[in-house]
Amino acid sequence: MNLSTIDIAIFISYVLLVIFLGYWVSREKKGHEKNAKDYFLASKSLPWWAIGASLIASNISAEQFIGMSGSGFDIGLAIASYEWMAAATLLIVAKFFLPIFLKKGIYTMPQFLEQRFDSRVRTSLAIFWIGLYIFVNLTSVLYLTALALKEIIGIELEIAIIGLALFAVAYSIYGGLKAVAWVDVLQVTFLIGGGLVTTYIALNAVSNGEGVFEGLKVLYQKAPEKFDMIFTKEHRAYEYLPGISVLLGGMWIANLNYWGCNQYIIQRALAAKSINEAQKGIAFAGYLKIILPLVVVIPGIVAFILKADIAKPDEAYPWLLNTFTGPGIKGLAFAALIAAAVSSLSSMMNSASTIFTMDLYQPYFKKDASQKNLVSVGRITGVVAVFIACLVAPQLASLEQTFQYIQKFTGWVSPGVVAIFLFGLFWKKTTANAALWGAISSIVFSAILYITVDDKTLPFLDKMGITFIITSLIIIGISLLERKKFGKEQEPSSYDKSIFQTSPTFNVASVGILVILAAIYAVFW
């Protein structure tokens, strides 16, 4: 189905606006040459509202629009736990993780690991994260968005992938994080605004023109099973969302890894003007996470109720756009989908280039690299990363539910990463050898559980929880053994407990988020 002239005009206007804004905010004062701090940390100048908007724009991509809508079509509102539990996780990260990261003045997560442990831990995790961003994150975003473009306007998958990559590179590669973050403020407006418009139209269609609330009522009446948030063992989707573990188990590991240890998320907060601005920005992102299921999950349930003629769940959102959005509105929804994709692509490119430049290139290839050289290497790395992802992305076409694939793959390493950071941050006796063996054992035990026990018997979220416990015991055991053997301990840089104090604004915002989440789970238990 082709876009109308007005849809094309809206989309082209959006593309030109994004590129213009990206270059405009990337300008430097006369006589100032862009340095690593400017390129990788946006000159540490971001206010709270830009941080919150950029966090969500970077987080929400085709994984959610396409993948979570597909899961909404297949299993219902329960998949929204990834969004709602993330809102609670953000509060923990803001209060306990972020003050330490900012105090240490780091550029990257691997850099923190070297300060706390040693260069082996830093290098190992740097290589892992670069691989993850290129072969899982970048490729999945390119593939899922290209799939949507193919379904909506009939463009070939490979051409769509190349077009998306070129768009993301065009506005972000010159300015770095500064361009990415400030353009994200615009992107999140398209993303949430356009997404809500699509949801409104879909719910209005379900209710035969009687409005959104009537539409939600119809959804609940026709498919009450799609609104169960906590599954029993008998539920066919228990392997994806295993009951109470969603609230008390492996879901926390997945979210702490993503929101607390993930370079392309934390990098926005590291670029804040101050700790207060960073924490307010994260709280703002928490509220946006609460409303996102209206944008990315409800449309999938609508497609199910309307018996969408699709081959697999991931086609639910494109089908909805083709069926119910008319001229103008389709252009806006289309721009929202592309905004979600390119904001994530540019963020992942920038973070991969930051890690490669600061954690691999400078320490191992050119210790005396100039600021200009570091910026140049960052730009080249970003282009190379997205080029490789373009080659790999078409291979994901064989997957049924790409969102679940992403969660399972990252679930192999999430327990080890979370354990290393938690013990590194909060237990001074943790040694470098313990951290390194913890990371290795996490992958080994994840692989053993994956091979020996299928997900129907032991869901992958539960496997993550078990692996985290085993990894933690290994880290504790090795640390205590080494301390006993050598009679000394490796302490992190000292920090006073006062750094964990938060402003009244953040405290009130946090209580509001927790109350809303408690109400949601009380209603849809």
* Cα 505 to Cα 509: distance, rounded to the nearest angstrom: 6
pLDDT, tens only, 200-249: 988 998 998 888 899 999 999 999 999 999 998 888 889 888 988 889 88
Say which amino acid occupies 457.
T
pLDDT, tens only, 477-504: 999 998 766 554 444 555 677 888 999 9
The residues pairing with 272 across neighbouring beta strands, listed in sequence order, are: 46
Q: For residue 2, which phi and psi values (nearest 5 degrees)?
A: -85, 150
pLDDT, tens only, 138-173: 998 898 888 878 877 788 889 999 999 999 898 888
pLDDT (0 to 100) of residue 35: 87
Domain boundary assignment for the chain:
5-14+46-107+125-227+265-398
Q: Provide the H-helix boundaries in 60-118.
A: 62, 69-75, 81-92, 98-104, 109-116
* Cα 360 to Cα 126: distance, rounded to the nearest angstrom: 8
* Cα 61 to Cα 402: distance, rounded to the nearest angstrom: 12
**Considering the domain 5-14+46-107+125-227+265-398 in this protein, what is its CATH number?**
1.20.1730.10
Residue 464 near residue 253, CB atoms below 8 Å: yes
Say which amino acid occupies 355.
I
pLDDT (0 to 100) of residue 468: 95
pLDDT (0 to 100) of residue 379: 94
pLDDT, tens only, 391-406: 998 887 766 555 556 6
Residue 361 pLDDT grade (very low, low, confident, very high; cuts 50, 70, 90): very high
pLDDT (0 to 100) of residue 466: 94
The encoded tokens of residue 521 equal: 């789970």
Q: For residue 262, which phi and psi values (nearest 5 degrees)?
A: -100, 120
Whole-model pTM: value is: 0.89
Rounded percentage of the chain residues whose pLDDT exceeds 90: 47
DSSP-derived secondary structure letter, 361: I
pLDDT (0 to 100) of residue 49: 93
pLDDT (0 to 100) of residue 405: 60
pLDDT (0 to 100) of residue 494: 56
Q: Does position 113 have pLDDT exceeding 90, yes or no? A: yes
* Cα 334 to Cα 342: distance, rounded to the nearest angstrom: 12
pLDDT (0 to 100) of residue 517: 95
pLDDT (0 to 100) of residue 239: 87
* Cα 269 to Cα 282: distance, rounded to the nearest angstrom: 8
